[in-house]
Amino acid sequence: MPDLQVQKPKASSNTLHSASSTNKRKSPSGFPVSTNLPKRLRTTIPSKQLATVPTSSTFPGNEVSVARFVRAREIEIRALEDGMRRAKKFQMRRAFQDVPRDMRRRTASHNPRRVPGRLRSRAVREMREDQTPLKRGESGSGTGKGSKGRLRAEGVSRVKKKRVNRRNHGEEEQQHLGTVPIGHKAKVMVPTNQALQDASSKKNTLANPLHARTPKINRSAALKNPPTPLARFRKRQIHKTWLPTHMFHTKRAHMTAPLEPLWRFAIPLTPTAKSYRPTHRANTLRGSVAWDMSYMATIGLEGPEVSLVGLLKALGVGIDYEEDMWGNTGIGKKWRDGSRFWEGWTFEKHGCRIEGIAPVTIIWSAKERGGADTTDQQQVFSTKKREKRRVFIRVHPAGFLQLWGGVVRFAKVQKPAVTVEDLRFEIGSIEISGPGATETLCSALWPTPCPKGEAFPADSPQTVWKDFSILTNPSSLPTNTLLAFTVSDPRLHYPPQTMSVLHDTASRSRLAQTLANWPLDMNQSPPAIFNRNARLAASRTLPSQKSINRRKGSAMPGEYPEPRPTDPQIPILLCASRQRGVWTVLLPWKCVLPIWRTIMYYPLSSGGNPRFGGLKETRQVSFESSRPWFPGDYPGTSAGWAWEIQERAVREKEWAKRPKGKRIEWGSVDLGDGRKGEVGRGWACDWEEILTKESLAKHGPPPPGELGEIEPRPFHHLHSSTISDILFSRSCNDRKVFTHSPYLFTAKITLLTRGVPTTCARVYRLPTTNAELRAQWLSLIPQSRSLSKSKNSASEPSPRVSKDAPPHLQRRALAANLLKPAQHEKTSPQPGGKNYPVVPGKDDLVGFVTSGNFNLGEGKGTGVANLFVRKVLGEDVENYVEKERFWCIVREAGQGLGRLAKWEVV
């Protein structure tokens, strides 16, 4: 079959002859070429004519050929698709329009420095061709006309003056030490004999340097000072401490204010790029999110196991846990053997009241394996000498000082004594979550090879770790597992390469067998990170980046440098949390930055790189998982109350700086039924407004100092396990104990209709004094299908006709459904309508929303609130068993509209 003749698009007749004579390229069809247009506009316009096949080629000799007809249409369709691709590729787009979606700004900018580096040259070229004036931001570096440029110029001149003064002062010291100048204007200095002798003695001293002494452990249980920063950064860290990755975050994230650090740390708040939806996608769908959590405090305990158990029991460890953590079987024994870690709350006693301090993570070091060649005398000696164990307690910095005081107090009364050490600036941590978290860690953490070049045993953590590259969720591992081994410097394998993730049947079966058996429960070795000498050795032997580059340059192309015996062995401890679905890596403080950079620049197999998160992303992930965030969602604790007072001041300042015409007037808020004014302060969760009046009315005046403005807090936090027992318990005496005391508990709020609960929103129970209003709110609760069918049988759908029925029956059923009259069902009143119920009174206010937003995980508005126990349970004990107690009404601060919601204990 001869080939078909394809007719190419011809130049349009509208093309100017003057333009065609001056330009080498022909103008596209339908677009006249003007010499005034820049070259970019003249060359990137795609052709508007597509290739076609003439009829003479399709039907030669007026003969119909199906094959030729199909082939001709195929050519034309392919030409159409190719034209669409070229039009999309060469469309009129500027450089700032090609910025990724998560990096786009709300407005375009004429400053080429505001686009990524790969697009800056293109942006400058486009602006020059279009004769757009280049604008340089006044806030950038350089000596511009702006105030920042002027300050920078003054700073440069100040540094130059200091340099000159330092040089002059150095010359004076050289003259004082015995150097004699040659000539009046000469700069060459000839040292005297005494100076030569001093220099030789100094050289001999430096020729035999002493080994670095290991710092002595402070046994007095004193708080540790932060590490001394470099001289050029020392002035910036007077009132705060930088994280190991501070230089990485400060260029890519919004940091805390210089004079307003959080918990004495400069903490990243959120990335400068758009991150709310990308964080949700990376954490749940594809990718991963990493956080530098080195600001989490670590407390080290060392002593006999009996004393450590007594100290932990005094802190209330295991009270709120479902299983027995101190038994000889189950998860408790594995935890004390060092193969699991424990997450829970610590408590302290105030008389007859037990208050929560903070959630903690407790890790036991595994026991040392005894050798088989020990004699009887050695065994007797070892039994006489009590074996010492080591424990790590990790706690949020907001509750560190309170927990530290309790640990030191209980450690003094233990016999034998327990050594307490502050490890805040010795141990750092990285958290990473998402489907690609395990893959990222497997590429960054390379286990150090055996000294003799042998392979690791099949049940060792190094071998087990290699099989985890196909794992997409750490929650599939056994509960709270631990992996401990040493890794090499990740800079030797930089830049990281995408791992070849094998999803074959053999890899999956091997992983399933490992998860089922989990050999690390029987042969867990003591983690090296518990050894202080190992931590210091890893930090001190880290080579400089210059030496790393030299080794990589001397290696063969495409190969990594050969390992050396002097390479650092970084001890790490991996914690896989099933409850949160997060990997936590514990490692020495100074080794955080090399591993962090490798994680950030790893190319994921699913595309892209891992994202980094700040404090807001931490709250977002907890919120989408329906988990309260400490300390913001626990105002009943000391740390949560301090956070609430701090956030009140911030919100009040934001409200006060707005003009009167653009801020909410709290006194004019319409609550319905003639009620005006917000309940309490609108910018705060005003617990005192409710508690003070209720306490005076029900229980008389509070004791002195109980209701202070800031300290102490006027209420206490009740744990979720306790409130669950109260709600579903039939004993009225247990309930009365908590109903006559100011206790709060944390609950999840889920709206039934549209709307988003925000922070400081008011939460009401169903009206208790107005029966008619209560019935109106109860009518908004959606009924089940069974009730709707029994009440209105006419609304039942007609029976469906089977697919095997004759065609005339199917047409008859279709016509019956089309001609069936619409059922006029009674619709519920819409929010804001005339029949919509008003919010209850102040007496029915039970709590406030501490965190609220649109939950991308559930596709609706949810929130985390704190409610009063006495208000939720009601005044009458007999009404506790009502099913309606789980319904509530949420009203945003500054609005009079309430929405029906349901709460549940979390």
CA 78 – CA 520 distance, rounded (Å): 59
What are the tokens at 20? 């065609």
pLDDT for 730 beyond 60 = no
∠ CA(786), CA(788), CA(794), 5° rounding? Answer: 115
Banded pLDDT at 740 (limits 50, 70, 90): low
How much is the pLDDT for 108? 61
State whether the Cα torsion 844-850-855-858 is positive or negative: negative
Q: Is the pLDDT of residue 555 over 80?
A: yes
Q: What is the pLDDT of residue 3?
A: 59
Q: Is the model's pLDDT at 854 over the cut of 50?
A: yes
Please give the residue that has the higher pLDDT: either 124 or 891: 891
3-state helix, strand, coil in the chain (%, to 5): 40, 15, 45
Residue 618 has φ and ψ, to the nearest 5°, of -65, -45
Other CB atoms within 10 Å distance of the CB of residue 708: 11
Mean pLDDT over residues 268-294, rounded? Answer: 94
pLDDT range class, residue 467, cuts 50, 70, 90: confident
Q: List the single range of 36-50, 484-498, 817-831 with lowest mean pLDDT.
A: 36-50
pLDDT of residue 558: 83
From the list 713, 667, 735, the residue with the least C-alpha distance to 877 is 735
Taking residue 875's Cβ as centre, other Cβ atoms within 10 Å add up to 10
Residue 363 to residue 340: CA distance in whole angstroms: 7
Other residues' Cβ atoms within 10 Å of the Cβ of residue 430: 23
Tokens of 861: 């508005």
User: 530: buried, middle or exposed (CB in 10 Å: 19+, 13-18, 0-12)?
Assistant: buried
Quote the pTM value: 0.76
**pLDDT value at residue 762:** 96
Q: DSSP labels for 683-732?
A: TS--HHHHHHHHHHHHH-SPPTTSS-SSSS-SSEE--HHHHHHHHT---H
Output Rg (C-alpha) for the chain, integer angstroms. 36
Provide the mean pLDDT of the chain: 79
Q: Is the pLDDT of residue 381 over 50?
A: no
- Least trusted range by pLDDT, from 111-120, 431-440, 619-628, 862-871: 111-120
d(CA 360, CA 395): 5
513 has pLDDT over 70: yes
Element (H, E) at 310: helix 305-314
For residues 678-705, give the mean pLDDT: 66
Candidates 235, 448, 432, 418; CA nearest to 312 is 418
To 10 degrees, the CA torsion angle through 23, 24, 29, 33?
-10
Using DSSP's 3-state secondary structure scheme, residue 394 falls into strand
Q: Where along the chain do its domains lie?
A: 17-92, 302-367+386-425, 428-550+565-609, 646-781+830-905
Cβ atoms of 573 and 441 within 8 Å: the answer is no
> Do residues 575 and 361 make contact, with C-beta atoms less than 8 angstroms apart?
yes
The 8-class DSSP code of residue 358 comes to E
Nearest to 902 by CA among 780, 786, 787, 788: 780
Q: Are 263 and 239 within 8 A, CB to CB?
A: no
Q: Which helix (H) or strand (E) holds 266?
A: strand 265-266
Report whether pLDDT(763) > 70.
Answer: yes
Could you report the per-residue pLDDT of 330-374, keeping only the tens digit for each? 888 999 999 999 999 999 988 777 889 999 999 999 987 654 343
Residue 20's pLDDT band (boundaries 50, 70, 90)? very low
Q: Confidence class of residue 834 from pLDDT cuts 50, 70 and 90?
A: confident
Tens of pLDDT along 212-262?
565 666 555 789 899 899 998 999 998 899 999 999 999 999 999 999 999
Q: Which residues contact 688 (CB under 8 A, 6 or more apart)?
A: 680, 707, 709, 714
Which of the two residues, 547 and 514, has the higher pLDDT score?
547
Check if the beta carbon of residue 79 is closer than 8 Å to that of residue 51.
yes
Write out the two tokens for 37.
């247009």
The rounded percent of the chain whose pLDDT value lies above 70 is 75
d(CA 601, CA 193): 57
User: 10 Å Cβ neighbour count for 639?
Assistant: 25
The Cα-based distances of 532 to 244, 407, 552, 588, 609 in angstroms read 19, 20, 31, 10, 34
Q: Which residues of 289-437 form beta strands (DSSP E)?
A: 289-292, 297-304, 341-350, 353-364, 388-395, 419-422, 427-433
* Mean pLDDT on 814-826: 64
Beta bridge partners of 359: 345
Question: Which of 98-107, 464-473, 784-793 is least confident?
Answer: 784-793
d(CA 468, CA 441): 9
Tokens of 69: 């007809």
Neighbours of 888 (CB within 10 A): 26
Q: Is the dihedral of CA 335, 339, 344, 346 positive or negative?
A: positive
Q: Is 648 left (phi over 0), alpha (psi -120 to 50) or beta?
A: alpha
Say whether pLDDT at 425 is over 90: yes
Cα 20 from Cα 41, distance rounded (Å): 16
For residue 890, report the phi and psi dihedrals to the nearest 5 degrees. -110, 130
pLDDT tens digit sequence for 197-209: 444 444 443 334 3
Q: Which residues have CB under 8 Å from 667's CB, separation 6+?
A: 676, 677, 678
Average pLDDT over residues 591-607: 94
Pairing of strands 481-487, 570-577: antiparallel
Look up the CATH architecture of domain 646-781+830-905: Beta Barrel (2.40)
Q: Please state, as a whole number, how many other Cβ atoms lie within 10 Å of the Cβ of residue 796.
A: 10
* Average pLDDT, integer, range 40-45: 44
Q: What is the DSSP string of 496-541?
A: P-------SHHHHHHHHHHHHH-GGGTSPPPPGGG-HHHHHHHHHT
The closest of 401, 484, 414, 394 to 448, measured between CA atoms, is 484
DSSP string, 422-435: E-TTTEEEEEEEST
Q: Which residue has the higher pLDDT, 716 or 824?
A: 716
Residues 358, 631: Cα–Cα separation, whole Å: 8
Strand partners, 888: 765, 901
Q: Which of 337, 355, 338, 339 is nearest to 347 (CA)?
A: 355
Residue 1 has pLDDT above 80, yes or no: no
What pLDDT sits at residue 196?
37
Give CA–CA dist 775/884, Å, rounded.
11
